[in-house]
């Protein structure tokens, strides 16, 4: 069965940030209880920019905040717990509720003014285009 | 009401082996599956199951109850970029889970709805499973 690829170096920053946070709280290497890495994200790169997808089932657009500032992308989602259901009524309880937040460190060269976020079927997609200045330019060589 | 709070309907996860076998069958068709997170609660009249199945649409969801086994399959299309993620924390795979449900559920009346990547199944209890108060008639 295919396992995630963890070999992509340019994204070490992204993991680094998480480790920094975990270290700061003295929990590095341990499974975190509250403040787990949520929502889970995938990052896709192409020539024109980055696409970040996040699984946010049951979250309404109004309870979702996406902020891109400088080199940080922050995704905050809130999922309300169902009301009126007592603990004793549960046979099984695996889903989590409350507020989840994720911060990703972005690579340089993205145009954070042009970020587009969309939500469909419990999946958030954030598109971060590269800044024009960051795209490769072909320099014409003129004959002297 | 407290005395009615008996667990009328039993729900049990189907054995890991059975689930794995089913997943292997599906895997040969080039589809991978993960186990969705599920809540199940019971009221006097029904059993409600909610499952997180982000990225799926109602066309891709199949729910079946046969021989006391409730099966949930939610097919998921590849994510939009279509390529392998460069950094991955979740697998954009389809979902499969099975529970054995006691025959106290009225299979004909199961209702399923999908919204925002959450599947909600309502399984009404069969009349015999509802707490019944027997009236004693005077002769």
Same domain assignment for residues A27 and A44: no
Report whether pLDDT(A29) > 70: no
A90 in any annotated domain = no
Q: Which residue of A has its CA nearest to B35?
A: A94
pLDDT of residue B69: 86
Q: How far apart are CA A8 and CA A24, in angstroms?
A: 25
Answer whether A122 sits within 8 Å of B118, measured CB to CB.
yes
Per-residue pLDDT 10s for chain B (139 aa) are 333 333 455 666 666 666 666 666 555 567 788 899 999 999 988 999 999 999 999 999 999 988 888 999 999 887 765 678 888 888 888 999 998 887 778 888 899 999 999 999 999 988 766 666 788 888 7
Same domain assignment for residues A15 and A50: no
Say which residues have a Cβ less than 8 Å from residue B118's Cβ, sequence separation at least 6. Answer: A57, A58, A122, B50, B51, B52, B53
Query: Over chain B, what is the mean pLDDT?
Result: 81
Lowest mean pLDDT, pick from A47-56, A71-80, B20-29: B20-29
Report whether pLDDT(A19) > 80: no
pLDDT of residue A20: 54
Q: Which CATH number goes with the domain that contains A125?
A: 2.60.40.790
Same domain assignment for residues A29 and A52: no
Answer whether A122 sits within 8 Å of B54, measured CB to CB.
yes
- Residue A53's pLDDT band, with cuts at 50, 70 and 90, is very high
* B20 vs A: CB within 8 A: no
pLDDT > 90 fraction of chain A, expressed in percent and rounded? 42
A34 in any annotated domain = yes
Same domain assignment for residues A64 and A16: no
Judged on CB neighbours under 10 Å (0-12, 13-18, 19+), A94 is middle
Same domain assignment for residues A52 and A22: no
Same domain assignment for residues A61 and A102: yes
Same domain assignment for residues A61 and A99: yes
pLDDT of residue A28: 41
**Nearest by Cα to B96 from B2, B12, B7, B14:** B14
* B91 vs A: CB within 8 A: yes
Same domain assignment for residues A110 and A75: yes
A3 in any annotated domain = no
SS3 content of chain A, % helix, strand, coil (to 5): 20, 35, 45
Same domain assignment for residues A76 and A105: yes
The ipTM estimated for the assembled molecules is 0.76
In sequence order, the β-bridge partners of residue B38 are B51
Same domain assignment for residues A25 and A43: no
Same domain assignment for residues A23 and A43: no
| Domain region containing A114 | 39-82+95-136
Structural domain count of chain A: 2
A75 in any annotated domain = yes
Report whether pLDDT(A9) > 70: no
Same domain assignment for residues A49 and A13: no
Q: pLDDT digits over A103-126, tens only?
A: 999 988 899 889 999 999 999 999
Contacts of A44 in chain B (CB under 8 A): 79, 81, 83, 85-86
pLDDT of residue B17: 64
């Amino acid at each position: 069965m295919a396992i995630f690829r963890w070999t992509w170096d340019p994204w070490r920053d992204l993991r680094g940030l998480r480790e920094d946070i975990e270290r700061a709280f003295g929990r590095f290497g341990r499974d975190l209880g509250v403040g787990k890495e949520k929502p889970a994200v995938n990052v896709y790169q192409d020539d024109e920019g980055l696409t970040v997808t996040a699984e946010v089932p049951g979250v309404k657009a109004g309870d979702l905040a996406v902020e891109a500032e400088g080199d940080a992308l922050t995704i905050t989602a809130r999922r309300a717990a169902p009301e009126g259901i007592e603990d004793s009524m549960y046979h099984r309880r695996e889903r989590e509720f409350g507020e989840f937040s994720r911060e990703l460190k972005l690579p340089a060269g993205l145009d954070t003014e042009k970020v587009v976020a969309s939500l469909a079927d419990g999946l958030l997609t954030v598109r971060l285009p590269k800044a024009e200045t960051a795209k490769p330019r072909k320099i014409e060589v003129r004959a002297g | 009401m407290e005395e009615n709070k008996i667990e009328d309907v039993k729900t049990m996860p189907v054995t890991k082996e059975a689930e794995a076998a089913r997943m292997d069958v599906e895997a040969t068709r080039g589809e991978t599956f993960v186990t969705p997170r599920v809540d199940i609660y019971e009221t006097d009249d029904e059993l409600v199951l909610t499952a997180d199945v982000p990225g799926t649409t109602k066309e891709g969801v199949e729910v079946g109850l046969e021989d006391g086994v409730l099966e949930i399959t939610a097919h998921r299309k590849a994510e939009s970029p279509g390529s392998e993620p460069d950094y991955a924390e979740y697998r954009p795979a389809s979902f499969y889970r099975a529970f054995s449900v006691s025959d106290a559920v009225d299979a004909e009346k199961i209702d399923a709805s999908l919204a925002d990547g959450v599947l909600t199944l309502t399984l009404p209890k069969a009349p015999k499973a509802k707490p019944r108060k027997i009236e004693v008639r005077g002769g």
